[in-house]
Structure 1
């Protein structure tokens, strides 16, 4: 029995050995077939190597937009933000008290210099003027009577001439330190007294004595008060912030409205000292207004404050901006770019043209319908543009849009060509 069991085990082990051999043989044949397939083109001399350009040649061209690089004078700019303000503005206030009987303007109206804006009740002012004119007539009558009765002779001209010479001599002596201030005053007072009694001053004295001069002053003052019942525009501009209605009583100094001279606007910005030292009055400026769809308006540097705030390290620059159509409104937020200096003959591209790959700057130069991966060295940046110091040459076409996922030598189609740089960019 033991013998039969032993023979059974030997037959089973033999079958296991043969099954393992068969599996190993199949595996070897499979690996050999794969190797033969892989190296068959080499063994037969019909090798086919797939190249990247062959794969790219089968891909459709990528649509890109580009710029043609040419040497330009590149202005460096300092950037800041601010708000628009009228070139000048003022509060229109009442100078006298009174009731408003007429308002001739509305908010937003344009007015000329001297135009009447508000009319106050002028009845009391007219009565005061009439009284002053009556008093003036009386004073003139008294003056005429005294003038007709006067026959007195004036002071001897010789005495007046001597007093004048004494006064001049006293001034010279005082300048040399020979007399004191009291002696100088005595000579002056003697000369003025004789001058007052002479014919040269007699008429002025008579006008004061008769009250004619005072009456004339009262009339002038009454006319001034009457004129102040008509509130006028001190300069041409636009009305804003109306605070007065017909029938309302106003007091002296009370603000009635604002007047804005907005034919030209200004924006004041703070510029860091590193840029401020390069900015001069008359330099170009560009003002971008988000409220008007990012409209860019050309302006000019009007003034540069010669003082830098030690707390902020910045100084104030005032930019003048034309506003002939009145589209620019006071208080609008603005981005301002100020020209600091200009670099001549530079190759400039939009900053979006420059990509970073493997830690280096590059652009895609379009040649013969393909995008060439080209390393560059960048220089100064200003706004949305950057100077390229090397890597490109004048006349090169550089991709600026649709190029972020491009590979080297990829086929491209240029759908639009833009200027690389314009002054108002």
Structure 2
């Protein structure tokens, strides 16, 4: 009996303790509920418990994706090409294809002969230019030999003219003396009348000869001065004629070489437009050669991310033909114009392709990486309000609604903020639908409103301290 009573007492005590524990839990839950009830907190002027996080500045790896397609790094349209001797108006404007050494898909080296043309007329033109060159060279050599001789002849002519005028001057003086002597003797009847007139005629002849000698020396002097200029002119003309002939010969020689059309680059023949026997013009495209090592990838890069692309930037390319491989290259060119309809800007990435495994026209996808510093917040702190992104920022114990501008980076539950927040600020994080729909619900239904007092010591109100 005593045993039974003891058991009943212990059982009653256990029930009382259990009820006390339940009552304590109920009171704690009620206190916590009262503490977290926004309406109660507002009525009592108490802060609403919230959980927060700090705005941080982090080093992020921004990844930008874009569709891609491979294109040749170089493309050459192979032509004969016009020249002075081979143009659309020249006798060799139309040329016959003699031999074709390629077909589509042929791998060619730079300088390899692709097409040979009939060159009989060109060879005849070359021979004619060669003869003209030889003639011009002979004429130049003749002028070079003649120039010093002409100078010597002019010097001799001038010396002779100077001697002649000296002789004629002395002769005139002598004739004057004889004439005066005979005139006196004639008056004294010592000389005949005919001797007197003969001396007079000789005196006139001496004067005439002196005048002619004076003219001769003037001509000789003028010829001495002008002759040197004439020699220089003749020499310059001969040199010019020789250079023109030499250039014409070199052009004709080049035209003969151009009849053997060579590849301007190393790559693959992508197109052949002629066959042996075809008559082609000098401007007609005979074939097309593309270079695939390195190969280029054209990206349709989104215009919204222009700040994140630069020349030299690393790029990862995944092609549809090789889905299990990632090819690494770098940006080499950014197009200066954006396509306003597609809202993309072409960006060129260069990939090494030593075995020419990659071919042009393969579609795929590319990723560009850019490491940079960014201001980040937890995604749980972001809300949409009337088409704008806002957060609750804690300022002096109150929750303030602040509009922010988001960046493109988002990873591991954090999102980049471009404007509106600075590192070190405190923002409210949430998991409640009330937060996410802030501005769409009534004040009665909203857990947190602008300018509410908040308690950020979540460990205390969550009873975790």
Check 1:389–1:225 CA distance in 2 against 1; reply closer, same or farther (3 A cut): closer
> Matched residue of 1:225: which SS?
helix
Q: Do residues 141 (structure 1) and 138 (structure 2) align?
A: yes
CA shift in 2, pair 1:105/1:226, >3 Å: same
Q: Deviations over 1:16-68 (max 9, x none)?
A: xxxxxxxxxxxxxxxxxxxxxxxxxxxxxxxxxxxxxxxxxxxxxxxxxxxxx
Number of aligned positions between the proteins: 242
5+ residue gaps, structure 1, are 1-71, 155-193, 347-378, 391-425
SS in structure 1 of the partner of residue 309 of structure 2: coil
Corresponding residue SS for 2:237: helix
Q: Residues 202 and 275 from structure 1, CA distance in 2 versus in 1: closer, same or farther, beyond 3 angstroms? A: same
Q: Cα deviations across residues 352-379 of structure 1 (Å, max 9, x unaligned)? A: xxxxxxxxxxxxxxxxxxxxxxxxxxx9
In 2: Cα distance, 1:81 partner to 1:220 partner: 51
Is 1:203 aligned to 2:225, yes or no?
Answer: no
Cα–Cα, structure 1 residues 143 and 198, in superposed 2: closer, same or farther, change >3 Å?
closer
SS at match of 1:98: strand
Q: CA deviation at 1:244?
A: 1.9
Q: Equivalent residue for 1:100?
A: 97
Q: 1:122 — aligned with what? A: 119
Residues 341 and 125 of structure 1, relative CA distance in 2, 3 Å threshold: same
For structure 2, which runs of at least 5 residues remain unmatched after alignment?
1-57, 87-93, 153-225, 377-405, 416-465
- Please give the alpha-carbon distance, in whole angstroms, between the structure 2 residues aligned to 1:198 and 1:230: 46
Q: C-alpha distance in 1, partners of 2:287/2:363?
A: 23
| Cα distance change of structure 1 residues 87 and 103 upon mapping to structure 2, 3 Å threshold | same
How far did residue 134 of structure 1 move?
Answer: 1.5
TM-score of the two chains, using structure 1 as the length reference: 0.50
* Offset at residue 220 of structure 1 (A): 1.9
Contact 2:103–2:269 (8 Å) recurs in 1: yes
Give the distance between the partners of 1:307 and 1:254, measured in 2 at CA: 32
* CA deviation string 1:298-349 (max 9, x = no partner): 12111233554555544332111121121211111121112233579x9xxx
| 8 Å CA contact retained: 2:143, 2:234 | no
Task: Find out whether 1:224 has 2:272 as its counterpart.
Answer: no
> How far apart, CA to CA, are the structure 1 residues paired with 2:327 and 2:249?
53
Offset at residue 118 of structure 1 (A):
0.9
Find the aligned partners of 2:128 and 2:261 in 1 and give their Cα distance: 23
- Over the residues paired in the alignment, what is the CA RMSD in angstroms? 3.3
Distance 1:387 1:381, change over 3 A: farther
Q: Distance in 2 between matches of 1:220 and 1:228?
A: 12
Change (3 A) 1:309 1:107: closer
Match of 2:286 among 246, 252, 256: 256
| Alpha-carbon distance between aligned partners in 2 of 1:197 and 1:295, rounded to the nearest angstrom | 78
What SS does the aligned partner of 2:333 have? strand
- Aligned-residue offset at 1:149: 2.5
Counterpart residue number, 2:70: 84
Q: Is the CA contact (8 Å cut-off) linking 2:59 and 2:371 kept in structure 1?
A: no
Instruction: Determine the C-alpha separation between the residues in 2 that align with 1:147 and 1:77.
Output: 76
Report if the CA contact (8 A) 2:66-2:302 is conserved: no
> 2: CA distance between counterparts of 1:299 and 1:249?
44
Cα pair 1:105 1:117 within 8 Å, conserved: yes
Q: Which has the higher strand share?
A: 1
Secondary structure at 1:245's aligned position in 2? Answer: coil
Counterpart of 1:272 in structure 2 is 302
Contact 1:143 1:212 in 2 (8 A): yes
Distance (whole Å) between structure 1 residues aligned to residue 350 and residue 248 of structure 2: 46
Equivalences for residues 363-382 of structure 1 within 5 A: none
**Normalising by the residue count of structure 2, what TM-score does the alignment of the two structures yield?**
0.46
Contact kept? 2:70, 2:360, Cα under 8 Å: yes
State the Cα distance separating 1:104 from its structure 2 match: 1.9
The residue aligned with 1:241 is 271
Q: CA deviation at 1:110?
A: 2.3
1:302 aligns with 2:332: yes
Structure 2 Cα separation of the partners of residues 326 and 74 of structure 1: 36
1:119-154 CA-to-partner distances (Å, cap 9, x unmatched) read 111111111111111122223223333332333459
Alpha carbons 1:380, 1:387 under 8 Å: kept: no
Partner of 2:366: 336
Q: What's the counterpart of residue 315 of structure 1?
A: 345
Q: Give distance in 1, aligned partners of 2:275 and 2:337.
A: 44
